[in-house]
Amino acid sequence: MHLADYEESLINRRIWTQRDQIEERLAELSEHIEKVIQMYLRNEYATITEYNEKAGSVAEKYHFLVVADFPANFSDIAAKRLQSIAQSGARCGIFTLIHWDLRQPMPDGFVPDELRKSSLCLRRAGTEFVLNKQQAELGVTLTLDLPVAPALAVDLVHKIGKASIDSNRVQVPFSQVAPPPGQEWIEETSNELRVAIGRTGATKLQYLAIGKGTRQHALFAGKTGSGKSTLFHVIITNLALTCSPDQVQFYLIDFKKGVEFKCYATKHLPHAKVVAIESDREFALSVLQRVDEELRRRGDMFRKLGVQDVAGYKRAGGTEPMPRTLLLIDEFQEFFIEDDTIAQGASLLFDRIVRQGRAFGIHVLLGSQTLGGAYSLARATLGQMVIRVALQCNEADAYLIMDENNSAPRLLSRPGEGIYNDAAGAIEGNSPFQVVWLPDDERDKWLDKVQILSAQHPERHYSRPIVFEGNAPADIAENELMRAVLDKTPDKTPIAGRAWLGAPNSIKGPTEAVFPRQSGSNLLIVGQREEASLTMMGLSLLALATQYPPGAAKFIFCHQAVPGSTEAEFVDQIVRLARREVLIVRGHDVGPAIDGLAAEVKARGGNEPSASEAAPTFLLIHGLQKFKKLRHEDDFSFSSSSESGPDTGAQFDQIITEGSGCGIHIITTVDTLSSVNRFMNRKALGEFAMRVIFQMSANDSASLIDSPKAGNLGLHRALFYHEQEGYLETFRPYAMPQPDWLRQLAAKK
């Protein structure tokens, strides 16, 4: 049992003593014999030894079945299985060592001579062990060694155990399938896409072949630790090495709580169009929509040329590159965990892409840990996916990924061991293989090589992938619209200022609030995410200020941050970077500022031409709940404002209700719905047609945006609601800008 301390598989986890346990273990060995004969020996090798001589790193292990006190606790079924193993196991690498207790009664139907025929038999004669008569007649003599000392035996077992750690892991180097130097980016995919993914048999390579006949889409299944993620990395990396981006492109979606595909975003893989890490269902649906748009676009192009496939398009003189498009989704069943519009839309899009994509070079590769359960694609759609790749999985999934007569995947026993089948799961299509091993550091080196290849072709202008990282906030540095605004000083006033709030949960431009000169053009930000709210306010100020020529707009920023605090320093830094005049208002100074704006509203309201020509004004208030003076008192409330001067709350209410129509817009953050209700009446709240809300209770969410959706937003998510347009969008707010980005911006300005 000491061996189990190092590697459980050495002794099959433990010593088995119960009747049902013995039956199960012998059944597993019988299945292993089936696997070796069907998957490895076939009609090519007489024994596993011959196979192993050719196989090298994918050699199959030998097994020893040790039985003490046979037939104690052996059922009739177990005894028959043992007899079968003794007869056919040796050629498959299974050898038996049986201690037979002749005092025990034989199981029913057991024929002792059949077991003896398959074995070298020793029997005890007094104090010695001698060969049976049949072997003795051959002139064979037997001399047994003396048993070793117990301490020496234990020491030897420990040494064997230490040497056997991870002995069940088989690693075929990725270099065996990678293109040799100088042979990168030379593969043509017009007729078929082929990529080596592992070793099959003793000497051959296993290829994933897509694009011919019915072999258009692939389904992958494997439990945790089976090597499914490694297989996806092998497919992506090897295709990126063998084919240029003009020949193959990827849309990568990972629903798992991890960062499997992040390396392709970090390395700016030129073949990748979209990389979604820990993806949202909404974003993933938008990826399907983008692929569907590409399918329709290619369909129009093919019809104009009168062709039916990619090869025909190129023969007809098509000039635009037409790469094979691979939509690769890991844990695709996440689409269907809820019976909602997303699941329904995904099901329809999958069905159309799978049925029609083959003609236009668009192929779907779906992976999952299990195909069981209620959450899955329609069986009719899965039936169109002729290529099936099974890694280690349970028996139920073995029948689901293959057909009902093919349970071969249940025999897979080690990580990376798989069955490739391009006959819709029929048993005659089985091709056993071992996925090549591609560790993270080696994968990154190969991806660096792809970057070098891309740099050697600057004329092709390969764009960076669209990256969605669901477990992280958005990065303002990736906002190209913001970058364009910051790179130059505008020479004319825009029709409407725009504030970019974050990255959307869909493939489109950044989530933005637009401020035309009309009623309702105010933005309310509600939630208890202090840093995210402050960042949104600061970046909104920076974006709006730099869109207007100097002096063409006015900006007032009200906040209560303590001087010298991180929050105050951030606001000051943003104001410096804006290079526009910004009035900073704190605490008691808010009264005069509001008085001035109220007077401006009144002046513009009485002169229509003046209102349309006056410079837009943006009032930004961070933490409205901290400005008690801005709280609007009801007409019947007790207040001494009439005695102490203008009612600041009433003036603020007037700015809200009348200001946006004459170009005075408000952007404010508030911590809770209760605070909103204390500072605004129903009419004033209605003037904030644009609203951003972070996670809050479903009831509060419904009160603000007529939807409980904010009740389960989670971290790094917010909702943007436009009441006038009836628009609701989930997005990832921008994180606090990195110091390097701020320094570069300061140096540029």
Summarize pLDDT for 720-738 with one digit per residue, the tens.
999 999 999 999 999 999 9
Question: C-alpha distances in angstroms, 572 versus 325, 372, 480, 563?
Answer: 48, 56, 24, 10
Return the number of other C-beta atoms located less than 10 Å from residue 546's C-beta: 21
- Which domains are delineated in the chain? 2-110+145-163 (no CATH), 204-469 (3.40.50.300), 476-633+645-748 (3.40.50.300)
Query: Collapsing DSSP states into helix, strand and coil, what is residue 143?
Result: coil
Residues 436-454 as b or e (16 or more Cβ within 10 Å = b): bbbeeeebeebbebbeebb
Residue 606: per-residue pLDDT: 63
Two structure tokens written together for 438: 């591609």
733: cis peptide before it, omega within 30°? no
Return the number of other C-beta atoms located less than 10 Å from residue 740's C-beta: 9
Whether the CA torsion 633, 635, 640, 644 is positive or negative: it is positive
Tens-place pLDDT, residues 594-642 = 999 999 999 887 665 555 678 999 999 999 999 999 997 755 444 444 4
Residue 640: per-residue pLDDT: 45
Residue 641: per-residue pLDDT: 45
For range 400-408, the mean pLDDT = 88
Cα(632)–Cα(221) distance, integer angstroms:
61
DSSP state of 691: E
Q: Are 669 and 541 in contact (CB under 8 A)?
A: no
Question: C-alpha distances in angstroms, 207 versus 299, 391, 443?
Answer: 29, 15, 19
Tens-place pLDDT, residues 14-51 = 888 999 999 999 998 998 898 888 878 888 899 999 99
Residue 373: per-residue pLDDT: 67
Identity of the amino acid at 545: A
pLDDT-derived band at 643, boundaries 50, 70, 90: very low
Percent of the chain scored above 70 by pLDDT? Answer: 96
Return the number of other C-beta atoms located less than 10 Å from residue 383's C-beta: 12
Residue 405: per-residue pLDDT: 86
Quick check: 134 pLDDT over 80? no
Close Cβ partners of 547 (under 8 Å, ≥ 6 residues apart): 485, 490, 494, 497, 498
- 262: burial class by Cβ within 10 Å (0-12, 13-18, 19+)? middle
Query: Collapsing DSSP states into helix, strand and coil, what is residue 105?
Result: coil
For range 88-110, the mean pLDDT = 92
Q: Are 532 and 718 in contact (CB under 8 A)?
A: yes
Residue 57: per-residue pLDDT: 82
Cα(608)–Cα(612) distance, integer angstroms:
7
Quick check: 460 pLDDT over 90? no
Q: What angle do CA 316, 322, 327 make, to 5 degrees?
A: 140
Cα(254)–Cα(471) distance, integer angstroms:
12
Quick check: 499 pLDDT over 80? yes
Quick check: 118 pLDDT over 60? yes
For range 683-711, the mean pLDDT = 96
Identity of the amino acid at 178: A
Percent of the chain scored above 90 by pLDDT? Answer: 69
Contacts 24+ apart (CB under 8 A), 676-682: 676/524, 676/526, 676/704, 678/625, 678/631, 679/624, 679/625, 679/630, 679/631, 679/632, 680/632, 680/653, 680/656, 681/632, 681/634, 681/653
Residue 446: per-residue pLDDT: 97
Identity of the amino acid at 250: F
Q: What is the mean pLDDT of the chain?
A: 90
pLDDT-derived band at 394, boundaries 50, 70, 90: confident
Tens-place pLDDT, residues 557-605 = 999 999 999 999 999 999 999 989 999 999 888 999 999 999 999 988 7
pLDDT-derived band at 406, boundaries 50, 70, 90: confident
- 669: burial class by Cβ within 10 Å (0-12, 13-18, 19+)? buried
β-pairing verdict for 324-330 and 362-368:
parallel
pLDDT-derived band at 237, boundaries 50, 70, 90: very high
Q: pTM for the whole thing?
A: 0.82
pLDDT-derived band at 410, boundaries 50, 70, 90: confident
Q: 335: which strand partners?
A: none
Question: C-alpha distances in angstroms, 77 versus 21, 36, 105?
Answer: 12, 22, 15
Which of 609, 613, 647, 644 has its CA nearest to residue 630? Answer: 647
Whether the CA torsion 154, 160, 162, 167 is positive or negative: it is negative
Query: Bigger pLDDT: 535 or 164?
Result: 535
Quick check: 378 pLDDT over 90? no
Residue 390: per-residue pLDDT: 95
pLDDT-derived band at 665, boundaries 50, 70, 90: very high
Quick check: 142 pLDDT over 90? no
DSSP state of 9: G
581: alpha, beta or left? (left if phi > 0; alpha if psi -120 to 50) = beta
Query: Bigger pLDDT: 7 or 515?
Result: 515
Q: Are 47 and 41 in contact (CB under 8 A)?
A: yes
Question: C-alpha distances in angstroms, 565 versus 85, 480, 560, 561, 572?
Answer: 77, 30, 11, 7, 11
Identity of the amino acid at 199: R
pLDDT-derived band at 133, boundaries 50, 70, 90: confident
For range 54-59, the mean pLDDT = 86
Query: Bigger pLDDT: 340 or 535?
Result: 535
